[in-house]
């Protein structure tokens, strides 16, 4: 009978060890799952904090953009009468246009001093060349005022404006060359075509 008791004790010890292993196994799983859930909750809180920060940054950027737009609008309102008066002074014949001849002898100092701070031009002819984007040889009041506002207020580098002007010239010359090529192809056909 003693053998059976020992067997039972040994069996119970083995069962106890197996049960203890299961308990430790499930306890570790519960621990890992709970830590994962806590990290997930913390991650959601971090995401909410990040979303709030991004939202605030976007709102601040929108407010700054609106303030810059209002500041630019104020500068334009302030500069517009001076530019219109300058145009009237430069338009000697009162035609509503400034020609190259009218602007050729005028010193650069005729322009508002605030304009000269931001734009580096050597002569009024250089300014005329910059502003005459259509190449017509005359500046309308609109071209004059808009060009100077773009130079001063929009912080457009003169090199960019010159590049755009060169591109327009290239486009114009290219279209003229296309017309000449077309005419050179058609002209022989018209001359030798039977009537």
5-30: per-residue pLDDT in tens? 444 444 555 556 678 888 888 888 98
Q: How far is 164 from 150, CA to CA, in rounded Å?
A: 13
Q: Which CATH fold topology does 70-178 show? A: Recoverin; domain 1 (1.10.238)
Given a cut of 60, is residue 2 above it in pLDDT?
Answer: no
User: Helices (DSSP H) in the chain: which residue ranges?
Assistant: 2-90, 100-104, 113-118, 124-131, 141-152, 158-192
Any idea what DSSP says for residue 105?
T
Q: How far is 24 from 103, CA to CA, in rounded Å?
A: 95
- Name the least confident of 40-54, 94-108, 135-149: 40-54
- How much is the average pLDDT of 72-89? 80
Percent of the chain whose pLDDT exceeds 90: 0
**φ/ψ of residue 99, rounded to 5:** -95, 170
Interacting residues of 155 by C-beta distance below 8 A, sequence separation 6+: 118
Domains of the chain: which residue ranges?
70-178
Q: What is the pLDDT of residues 114-171, one digit of tens each?
A: 766 666 777 888 888 878 777 778 888 888 888 877 776 666 666 777 777 778 778 8
């Amino acid at each position: 009978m003693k053998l059976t008791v020992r067997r039972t004790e040994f069996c119970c010890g083995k069962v106890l060890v197996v049960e203890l292993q299961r308990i430790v196994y499930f306890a570790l799983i519960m621990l890992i799952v709970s830590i994962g859930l806590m990290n997930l909750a913390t991650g959601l809180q971090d995401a909410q904090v990040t979303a709030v920060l991004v939202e605030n940054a976007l709102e601040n950027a929108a407010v700054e953009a609106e303030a810059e737009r209002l500041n630019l609008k104020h500068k334009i309102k302030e500069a517009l009468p001076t530019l219109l008066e300058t145009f009237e002074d430069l338009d000697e014949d009162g035609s509503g246009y400034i020609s190259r001849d009218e602007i050729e002898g005028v010193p650069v100092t005729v322009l508002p001093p605030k304009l000269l701070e931001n734009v580096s031009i050597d002569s009024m002819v250089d300014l005329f060349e910059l502003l005459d984007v259509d190449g017509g040889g005359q500046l309308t009041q609109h071209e004059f005022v808009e060009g100077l506002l773009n130079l001063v207020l929009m912080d457009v580098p003169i090199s960019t404006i010159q590049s755009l002007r060169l591109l327009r010239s290239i486009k114009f010359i290219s279209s003229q060359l296309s017309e000449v090529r077309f005419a050179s192809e058609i002209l022989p056909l018209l001359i030798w075509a039977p009537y």
